[in-house]
Structure 1
Amino acid sequence: MTNAFEIIGGTPLKGEIIPQGAKNEALQVLSAVLLTGEKIIISNIPDIKDVNKLIELLGDMGVKVEKLAPDTYSFEAKNIDLDFFKSDAFKEKGGGLRGSIMIVGPLLARFGKAAIPKPGGDKIGRRRLDTHFLGFEKLGAQFNYDPSNGFFNVDASNLKGTYILLDEASVTGTANIVMAAVLAKGTTTIYNAACEPYLQQLCKMLNRMGAKISGIGSNLLSIEGVAELGGTEHRLLPDMIEIGSFIGLAAMTESEITIKNVHYNELGMIPDVFKRLGIQMELRGDDIFIPAQKHYEIDTFIDGSIMTIADAPWPGFTPDLLSICLVVAIQAKGSVLIHQKMFESRLFFVDKLLDMGAQIILCDPHRATVIGLDKQVQLRGISMTSPDIRAGVALLIAALSAKGKSTIYNIEQIERGYQYIDKRLIALGANIKRI
């Protein structure tokens, strides 16, 4: 029997909460430690499954890993065991962890070869890895798929800089190709590169290690290959998905919450999108203060038509927060169309919200119209299962605002992305327990 959360909802929360380090940045910068034999120290690392698995995987590969503080580790990738990549242990660990694809770029760059099992992970529709592979191939890598053991063997003994136009602005794809290119001969140009803050962080870290990357923050990166990289120290940004989730949580539960140290100028349009849902907030130093709000009203477009919230590559709105917006809109005044462009099954959790009393029309796998209840009707607690990380937290927010008891199963999905989420919510006054 797996763990579940039992939640008694309907009480306002109050207090301060500190967002964890960014999971998606962690998966990139942890992989970058493989680019050098020198010591790298990384801090503000979130204590969550996906990240811990990657740290463990690095250790299995021969990286010397030391825990210096609860959120700080040092890594020294001096003696890497390249045979480990052909082992069943790697197949099992690497196959179950989507982030494991991120170690391929650094390995190709430094050692000229790698092997990867077919990847696994979230159930949110196909997530293609073509972008990664096409990028590596353009740099001169050769892939051979071995159906007998399910591995891709990659030979990259001679990577050369080149011009690459990405077929999609994939964050992990861009990161992986950047890491492969920093040690390639000559100059690599990546156009339609992802430009998320996390990717900017990776590029800045690589530059401190001795890489020559320019165009950081734009969708046109230029990378002049260097012979080798050295050590550095790096601190992760706070997780913007957590910050957005807490803004939504405060509005939905009529809570007064202060979110600490948010790195506001790295949040892009996230605060603005929540403001358009009618949520009041104010910036105090680098903290976001959200007052307790009885009502919040969704903006309309200038011509009076229904507002649409859609995801787009950065600096557009991140798809990871659409589930949160959808849930928050349930208790708003007014209507909104949520348009999830990137993934085809991220909206399938709305059936649980309908059972709770929400008014939502699922138009197709990508679009849902939410008709706000304006707190006239309180959601009711139900028993439900979480399909993916972000939906899990959206359901958690719904449960905390609902009347009565809710039970959420499959919370491993939530804990892949959010550390000690129950303890941190209990500290704000939430009635939540693990069963």
Structure 2
Amino acid sequence: MASFKIEGGNFLKGEIKPQGAKNEALQVLCAVLLTSEKIRIKNIPEIGDVQCLIQILKNLGVIIKKNNIGDYTFQAKEIYIEYLNTKKFFIEYGQSIRGSLMIAGPLLARFGKVCMPIPGGDRIGRRRLDIHLRGFESLGSQIVYKENQYFYIYSKYLTGKYLLLEEASVTGTANIIMAATLAKGKTTIYNAACEPYIQQLCRLLNRMGSKIKGIGSNLIHIIGVTELSGCTHTILPDMVEIGSWIGLAAITSSEIKIRNVSWKNLGIIPNTFKKMGIKLEKKNDDIYIPSQKYYRIKKLLNNAILTISDAPWPGLTPDLLSILTVVATQAKGSVLIHQKMFESRLFFVDKLIEMGAQIILCDPHRATIIGLNHQSYLRGSILNSPDIRAGIALLIAALSAKGTSIIKNIEQIDRGYENIDQRLRILGAKISRIV
């Protein structure tokens, strides 16, 4: 297993272009299964989770042509659906990434059956499957579930229905939308997730011939059609990676320009970093972060401590809380980080405490960070990446720390970040990949 060796405490400078959005890529790649015609997708990130899903599609029989870096054409003309029943799929691929779950909706809609293992992914806490399964059931499917192993879903045909989701699940919403595109009649989804990546999926499906209204809201209406056609789609830049670069620039007092960020799809992310005292400027569609020796956390109007918490879109994505936690360790002031959605995501702060951070882990969901204001720096350490987002947060911490750090289990970081060490070296970081 590979590791990163990092010599921290260096000033970084330069321009960076964000990769394509991981979460959007996993959704739109599954959507190619809805038609036998060609779908061309551009700006696909070359990361571990996406490559795993592309391999699943290939093993299902999807014809895949790589036109250029991040540019692929897919054609799901003849699908070998029995592949889903093989041990190879269950062990090697299906349980590796949670995104594999989203092939269920398209395959159920087009072929009337699908067998899926319980999906894998990050160990960040309980992540519900019932939004997906109850959604399919409401559309007329029958489900055979073997606890902690697999579920088999089948239906003679799907029929549109009104669905009120108990939770605005992003992957659950995506799965149900894809299944409903080929269902008979009208499907209405209330309390649907409305993240930009869900909006992108809906726009792709409409270009394929779907009839989806309410895009961008939590009330989605879908009129089922009999078949879908091909088209071309370009994936948005990854908002979480953009937030990672902002956090890196701030904590290392570096000067970085992030190019082509799609500002209109960033929501409250820029303002959240501004609350941390971080200066950033909008230059056309770029973000410019000037070098700052210090940044002060803003207090609330009643002088109360700032609380930053995650929420469904247009609230703050939970994927950025790990980065914000690290950034807060060198701020002036204190902040309460409240991770509402996943009960295991803040446990990585133990490693930050070992590096010299002043953090009180109040409970599995809340941590109070007392900023060091660059008066006392983090120390280099031997670290282990527990998941994608904690992994990049620890990497950012190591780049700001004094001394040498080793980060193990970097396969977790590679799952979500494209050539991260090469791109950091371009900015001046001293990082190497070692075996």
Where on the TM-score scale, by shorter chain, does this alignment land: which range? over 0.9
How far, CA to CA, are the matches of 1:59 and 1:128 in structure 2? 27
1:7-62 Cα offsets, whole Å, 9 max, x none, are: 00001100001100000000000000000000000000000110001011101001
Name the counterpart of 2:126. Answer: 126
How far, CA to CA, are the matches of 1:286 and 1:401 in structure 2? 27
- Please show how residues 39-58 of structure 1 align to structure 2 within 5 Å: 39-58=38-57
- TM-score normalised according to structure 1 size: 0.99
How far, CA to CA, are the matches of 1:352 and 1:228 in structure 2? 52
Judge which range, 292-301 or 137-146, deviates more: 137-146
Paired letter, 2:237: P
How far, CA to CA, are the matches of 2:223 and 2:392 in structure 1? 41
SS at match of 2:277: coil
How far, CA to CA, are the matches of 2:170 and 2:24 in structure 1? 10
1:394-432 Cα offsets, whole Å, 9 max, x none, are: 111111111010111111111100010000000000000
Name the counterpart of 1:66. Answer: 65
Name the counterpart of 2:116. Answer: 116
Name the counterpart of 2:382. Answer: 383
1:121-154 Cα offsets, whole Å, 9 max, x none, are: 111011111100010000011011256x933211
SS at match of 2:296: coil
**Shift, 1:378, TM fit:** 1.1
How far, CA to CA, are the matches of 1:79 and 1:248 in structure 2? 45
Name the counterpart of 1:236. Answer: 235
Name the counterpart of 2:400. Answer: 401
How far, CA to CA, are the matches of 1:410 and 1:83 in structure 2? 33
How far, CA to CA, are the matches of 2:394 and 2:176 in structure 1? 35
SS at match of 2:432: strand
How far, CA to CA, are the matches of 1:95 and 1:352 in structure 2? 28
- Please show how residues 1-40 of structure 1 align to structure 2 within 5 Å: 2-40=1-39
**Shift, 1:318, TM fit:** 0.4
- TM-score normalised according to structure 2 size: 0.99
Paired letter, 2:205: L
Pair 1:223-2:222 in alignment:
yes
Alpha-carbon contact 1:382-1:407 (below 8 Å) kept:
yes
Alpha-carbon contact 1:330-1:358 (below 8 Å) kept:
yes
Percentage of pairs with the same residue: 65
Alpha-carbon contact 1:171-1:199 (below 8 Å) kept:
yes
- Please show how residues 210-359 of structure 1 align to structure 2 within 5 Å: 210-359=209-358
Paired letter, 2:120: G
Alpha-carbon contact 1:308-1:336 (below 8 Å) kept:
yes
Paired letter, 2:364: P
How far, CA to CA, are the matches of 2:150 and 2:380 in structure 1? 45
Paired letter, 1:253: T
How far, CA to CA, are the matches of 2:84 and 2:3 in structure 1? 35
SS at match of 1:152: strand
How far, CA to CA, are the matches of 2:382 and 2:144 in structure 1? 46
Moved over 4 A (4+): none
How far, CA to CA, are the matches of 2:53 and 2:174 in structure 1? 16
SS at match of 2:362: strand
How far, CA to CA, are the matches of 2:397 and 2:85 in structure 1? 45
RMSD: 0.9
In structure 1, runs of 5+ residues without a counterpart are none
- Please show how residues 135-214 of structure 1 align to structure 2 within 5 Å: 135-146=135-146, 150-214=149-213
Paired letter, 1:388: D
Paired letter, 1:63: V
How far, CA to CA, are the matches of 1:142 and 1:396 in structure 2? 45
How far, CA to CA, are the matches of 1:365 and 1:145 in structure 2? 30
How far, CA to CA, are the matches of 2:203 and 2:316 in structure 1? 23
How far, CA to CA, are the matches of 2:279 and 2:290 in structure 1? 7
Alpha-carbon contact 1:111-1:157 (below 8 Å) kept:
no
SS at match of 2:353: helix
Name the counterpart of 2:84. Answer: 85
**Shift, 1:97, TM fit:** 2.0
How far, CA to CA, are the matches of 2:194 and 2:291 in structure 1? 34
In structure 2, runs of 5+ residues without a counterpart are none
